[in-house]
Amino acid sequence: MKFLWIGFTVLACVVCVLLGLTLGIQLNPSSTIKFVPAWGSVGDWVAGLGSLVAVAATVVLANRERNDQKESVRVEVGSQPEVPWQGRRLISISITCTGPRPVRIYGISVRSQKHELSLEFIEFVEGELPANLTYGEVANFALYPGTEKQIQHFVLSNCDACFEALQLQVTTSMRTFEVKFPARLLKLNQQRSLG
């Protein structure tokens, strides 16, 4: 869309220069060059503008089509309070396909925005990878109890203890989606044992 505006601006500048030249020649023919550009008929201008609008519409529609064909998912991170696993609450991840293109999920990991290292999750209490989703389908994953301690250790040793910048990454066949990982989930079972 930005290129369309740039092209339109350049075209408008060229037309303004030619209009200024023509007007200068018509109003003061002795002090300017004798060459008068041939502007063509009204029909030529209408046809040219129609072609320009058709090209612009094609570019906009192609861009919209390309955006519609991207993978799109909604990722939610929380806990499973209603079904404790062996007396402990689990970190749950829910991934919903929200676009028309099917999604194949290859990996789920945690990383800090400030560092490149990530902690990949391989085994789950619920759900398995890879997972295939079509529009509207949901894949639910539950991390094993104790995973919150692994994440804490990972952040303390690799991410300068910056829990606020923690992100959950979902890797698909074409893209990587990131959502904020709630730091409160790292104290999930500590709160339960105290309460």
Q: What residues contact residue 126 under an 8 Å CB cut-off, 6+ apart?
A: 90, 92, 140, 141, 142
Per-residue pLDDT reduced to its tens digit, 163-184: 778 889 999 988 899 999 887 8
Closest to 18 in 3D by CA, of 4, 39, 42, 43: 39
Q: How far is CA 54 from CA 9, 29, 59, 61, in A?
A: 17, 38, 9, 11
Residue listed under structure tokens 């400030």? 114
Give the residue numbers spanning the domain of 182: 73-194
Whole-number average pLDDT of the chain: 81
Stronger pLDDT, 27 or 104, i.e. the higher one: 104
Same domain as 139, residue 99? yes
Same domain as 92, residue 63? no
Same domain as 166, residue 117? yes
Looking at the structure of the chain, the number of domains it has is 2
Which strand (E) or helix (H) includes residue 111? Answer: strand 103-112
Same domain as 79, residue 59? no
pLDDT above 60 (res 85): no
Cis peptide before 81 (omega within 30 of 0): no
Same domain as 116, residue 21? no
Per-residue pLDDT reduced to its tens digit, 111-136: 888 778 888 998 888 888 999 999 99
pLDDT of residue 139: 93
Domain CATH for 180: 2.60.40
Same domain as 6, residue 102? no
Same domain as 56, residue 93? no
Stronger pLDDT, 79 or 131, i.e. the higher one: 131
SS3 content of the chain, % helix, strand, coil (to 5): 40, 25, 35
Per-residue pLDDT reduced to its tens digit, 14-58: 878 777 777 776 777 676 666 656 667 777 878 888 898 898 889
